[in-house]
Amino acid sequence: MPRVIVKPLTSAGPQAGVRPGLVLFSFGFRPFFLFGSLYAALLMGLWLPWLRGFLDVPTSVSPVAWHAHELLFGYVAAAITGFLLTAIPGWTRRPPISGWLLLALFGLWVAGRLAVNLSSVTGYAPAAGLSTAFLVAVTALAGREIVAGGNWRNLKVVGLLAAFAASHAVYSWAIWHGGDPAIGARMANAAVLLLLTLVAGRIVPAFTANWLKARGETVMPEPHARYDSVAVGIGALGLALWVVDGWIVPAGIVGTILLGAAGLHLVRQLRWRPHRTLADPLVAVLHGAYLFVPVGFALAGLALIAGAEDVHRAAVHAWTVGAFGTMTLAMMTRASLGHTGRPLRASPATVIIYLSVLSAAATRIAASLFPAWSPLLSSSAAVAWIAAFVGYAVAYGPMLLAPRRAA
């Protein structure tokens, strides 16, 4: 598999093309990280009270479908967009997307969230159209920048973005026609998980190596090799079969493939020397986030082999709350520090953010595995999730709204 080069997010990247105007729209990470984090907290704050009958959201979809939709296509989509609009200028040496174009893209994301949450009034068509249009726009912009910069190795990122956009179309089609959107949700989870394993395979060992070198260590993480390609490839095969839910291959065989992927990804992570990073929370949290990838694969495999729906729910939450939630916060904190001219050092508030999201993930997985304790554990997970994302907005919001510090 060709290498995908992802440069560490430790500097502002090319600045010459940044248009004058509001600081908030000078770089993609600023609006999408700030408002994405606020929305992540809001959607969890609404979710459990709504599910338990204490309030109502004027949307035309069920609470469960809304929860999955807005976590994946609302928050996660915003976090991915903020990351890519910040990373791509470093890959291509082109000016970042900023100013009116960034404002328009952000406005499209906001419009999609409003349309989903007001769809009982406006109908579901605007919600489906606006959210799909946002994902298509992000895919098109990323593709344009990567092609214009001749950065062909990262075109697979565009392919996964396109798959993510397609998953939303499938999800929306099912809701619009009164069907089950589960296959669309599985497609989205698979696309995001593959994107995470692709990008994390570059940034996690790179940041780990930087940390180890700074400490004077000589044994570095294993460089990207054929093993990584095999691990990602087997994971992709297992996810593809998981998405179609036993239509092609018996569940037991799919489960075995997923268990194999779990082992491969765990060994892949161990090759990055995670045990040597505990002294630096900014690096250690990346490994903590990635650990949920093999955990999710293992739970998904066991669920298919045993036919256990509770274990399947635990697998999905290992990926969504654990891998996606923790990895996005890990990158949001790191990128916010580096791109606003601050030292790459975790403050006490940052450590609390990390502990909160890790606690949310572990508790939510436990809530799925132990149904008798689910109400208490789900509520605890929601509180920890809200604390993590409100904590990010409070601690990092002032940085995102202020100009970059001078070097």
- In whole angstroms, give the CA distance from residue 52 to residue 89: 45
pLDDT on residue 51: 83
In the structure encoding, which two tokens stand for residue 86, read together? 């910040």
Q: Is the pLDDT of residue 216 over 60?
A: yes
Q: Is the pLDDT of residue 73 over 60?
A: yes
- In whole angstroms, give the CA distance from residue 355 to residue 6: 26
Q: Which of 25-29, 43-47, 267-271, 402-406 has the lowest mean pLDDT?
A: 402-406
* pLDDT band, residue 245 (cuts 50/70/90): confident
Q: What proportion of the chain, given as a percentage, has pLDDT over 70?
A: 94
Q: What is the pTM of this model?
A: 0.93
Tokens 């589960």 belong to which residue? Answer: 182
User: What is the rounded average pLDDT of the residues 155-161?
Assistant: 96
Q: Are 293 and 239 in contact (CB under 8 A)?
A: no
Q: Is the pLDDT of residue 83 over 60?
A: yes
Cα separations in angstroms, 123 against 111, 184, 248: 14, 20, 35
Q: Are 138 and 163 in contact (CB under 8 A)?
A: no
- In whole angstroms, give the CA distance from residue 100 to residue 25: 8
* pLDDT band, residue 176 (cuts 50/70/90): confident
Q: Is the pLDDT of residue 264 over 60?
A: yes
| Mean pLDDT estimate for the chain | 93
pLDDT on residue 206: 95
Using CA of residue 279, residue 280, residue 283, residue 284, what is the dihedral sign? positive
User: What is the rounded average pLDDT of the residues 48-55?
Assistant: 87
pLDDT on residue 8: 40
What are residue 280's phi and psi, to 5 degrees? -120, 105
- In whole angstroms, give the CA distance from residue 181 to residue 194: 20
In the structure encoding, which two tokens stand for residue 276, read together? 């040597």
pLDDT on residue 407: 63
Q: Is the pLDDT of residue 266 over 90?
A: yes
Over the stretch 285-334, which tens digit does the pLDDT of each residue have? 999 999 999 999 999 999 999 999 999 999 999 999 999 999 999 999 99
Q: Is the pLDDT of residue 2 over 50?
A: no
Q: Is the pLDDT of residue 10 over 50?
A: no
- In whole angstroms, give the CA distance from residue 151 to residue 155: 7
Q: Is the pLDDT of residue 199 over 50?
A: yes
User: What is the rounded average pLDDT of the residues 333-346?
Assistant: 96
Q: Is the pLDDT of residue 221 over 90?
A: yes
Tokens 């893209």 belong to which residue? Answer: 105
Q: Are 87 and 157 in contact (CB under 8 A)?
A: no
Cα separations in angstroms, 164 against 26, 36, 108, 189: 26, 18, 17, 8
Q: Is the pLDDT of residue 13 over 60?
A: no
pLDDT on residue 248: 83
- In whole angstroms, give the CA distance from residue 43 to residue 161: 23
pLDDT on residue 268: 98
